[in-house]
Structure 1
Amino acid sequence: MLFAATFAFLALAVSSVSAEQHIVSFDNRCGFGTPTLIGQGGQVLSTGGAYVSPGALIGAIAYLQTGSCGFNGDGCTMVETTLRNPPSPGAGSSTDLTLIAPHAFSVTTGFGYYNGCDGAGADCNNANCNTAFHVFNDNQVQVQCEANNVNLVITFCL
């Protein structure tokens, strides 16, 4: 009985270590505003604190709520992200900045992966930056990451 309980505990510990997990954190250097992370279905996942996703995070958006942003980041610079362990080559995480209307430049915004793909990311510091979507087919601005359990930091007012 003791052996079975010990084995079950070890199996649980090993499986929890290898389970998919992603962290989205914020670095707000503006001195104002509220970092906001919204998940699919319109669920508010964070208003400034680090969010730990206990699996894939699909189609989340983030922005700095300055008081003039709509719930979906309308009127503001927005980050779109999917963080997931790649189920097949080329199908891992992808993050981008968007200024496609109704989104518009509000504050300098950037993102970077860490715990994998370190150094990969993008910054947008003006309404004409070439690192953000301006039209729906600006696909070259997407930043991919194929590392398991990659995390993301979003920075405002770099």
Structure 2
Amino acid sequence: MQLSLATATVVLAALVGTVVAESHTVHFTNNCGFGTPTLIQGGNVLSTGGDHTSNGPLVAAIAYLQTGSCGFNGEGCTLVETTLVNPTSSGSGSSTDISLISPHAFSVTSGFGYYGGCDGAGADCTSGSCSTAFHVSTDTGVQVACQVNNVNLAITFCD
């Protein structure tokens, strides 16, 4: 009996000591038939179309469809801005939006949605006048929040 209790104690201690690491994946779907989905954070290209998994928070990342006319930071194109982070308090989790604030401009239909939590929360922008995108910096109501650990993001172009 003592061996079983000792074994159980070791297993329990290992489980309690195990920390589940924070992780977020950004997935792209490009239905346009042209262009290259691009994900950038801090001046570094993280993806040119393939899934990108961040082992930890993904803070202040941008995504756009590089059509050949976009600047490195998405200038001249529809921009998706995201921060994917596990919430540490109410309202401190993930937030994503679409931006058409100059120097960004509508280029292709773009949309996003969370998955693995907050499923169904997202936005689509199908024209330069869409009400789901930032047009001026005070359009904060277009930000879509998610307060779930390890949430992922799907970005779609031309859907």
Q: 1:30-69 alignment to 2 at 5 Å?
A: 30-39=32-41, 41-69=42-70
State how far apart, in whole Å, the 2-side matches of 1:73 and 1:102 are. Answer: 8
Amino acid at match of 1:156: F
Q: Secondary structure at the match of 1:140?
A: helix
State how far apart, in whole Å, the 1-side matches of 2:141 and 2:150 are. Answer: 23
Q: 1:36-84 CA distances to partner (integer Å, 9 max, x unpaired)?
A: 0001x20100000000000000000000000000000000000000000
Question: Match for 1:29 among 31, 46, 50?
Answer: 31
Amino acid at match of 1:140: G
State how far apart, in whole Å, the 2-side matches of 1:42 and 1:142 are. Answer: 23
State how far apart, in whole Å, the 1-side matches of 2:95 and 2:88 are. Answer: 13
State how far apart, in whole Å, the 1-side matches of 2:21 and 2:54 are. Answer: 11
Counterpart position of 2:153: 152
State how far apart, in whole Å, the 2-side matches of 1:87 and 1:30 are. Answer: 38
Question: TM-score with structure 2 length normalisation?
Answer: 0.90
Counterpart position of 1:89: 90
Residues 1:113 and 2:114 are matched in the alignment: yes
> How far apart are residue 119 of structure 1 and its match?
0.2
How many residues align? The count is 149
Amino acid at match of 2:134: F
State how far apart, in whole Å, the 2-side matches of 1:48 and 1:157 are. Answer: 14
Q: Which runs of 4 or more aligned residues in structure 1 lie more than 2 Å from their structure 2 counterparts after TM superposition?
A: none
State how far apart, in whole Å, the 1-side matches of 2:71 and 2:52 are. Answer: 21
Counterpart position of 1:19: 21
> How far apart are residue 157 of structure 1 and its match?
0.1
Q: 1:121-152 CA distances to partner (integer Å, 9 max, x unpaired)?
A: 00000000000000001000000000000000
> How far apart are residue 108 of structure 1 and its match?
0.1
State how far apart, in whole Å, the 2-side matches of 1:149 and 1:58 are. Answer: 13
Amino acid at match of 2:29: D
- Structure 2: unaligned runs, 5 residues or longer: 1-6
Amino acid at match of 1:104: A
> How far apart are residue 87 of structure 1 and its match?
1.4
Amino acid at match of 2:28: F
Query: CA-atom RMSD, angstroms?
Result: 1.7
- Structure 1: unaligned runs, 5 residues or longer: none
State how far apart, in whole Å, the 1-side matches of 2:59 and 2:157 are. Answer: 22
> How far apart are residue 14 of structure 1 and its match?
3.8
Residues 1:100 and 2:108 are matched in the alignment: no
